[in-house]
């Protein structure tokens, strides 16, 4: 999780907040999918 936060902070310097939020949403969906598979 810490690594993800660091990546998001780095992205936040490069991309608009909207894209970062989309990235967070995508990561949440991916995590949810993995949990469902398990």
The confidence score (pLDDT) of residue 27 equals 81
pLDDT digits (tens, 9 = 90+) for 1-38: 677 777 766 765 665 666 667 777 888 888 878 877 65
Q: Which of 2, 23, 26, 27 is nearest to 11 (CA)?
A: 23
Return the pLDDT at 25. 80
Task: Provide the whole-model pTM.
Answer: 0.34
Q: What is the pLDDT of residue 18?
A: 62
Distance separating alpha carbons of residues 16 and 21, to the nearest angstrom: 9
- How far apart, in whole angstroms, are the C-alpha atoms of residue 21 and residue 14? 13
């Amino acid at each position: 999780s810490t690594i993800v936060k660091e990546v998001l902070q780095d992205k936040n310097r490069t991309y608009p907040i909207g894209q970062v939020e989309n990235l967070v949403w995508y990561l949440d969906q991916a995590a949810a999918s993995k949990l469902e598979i398990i």
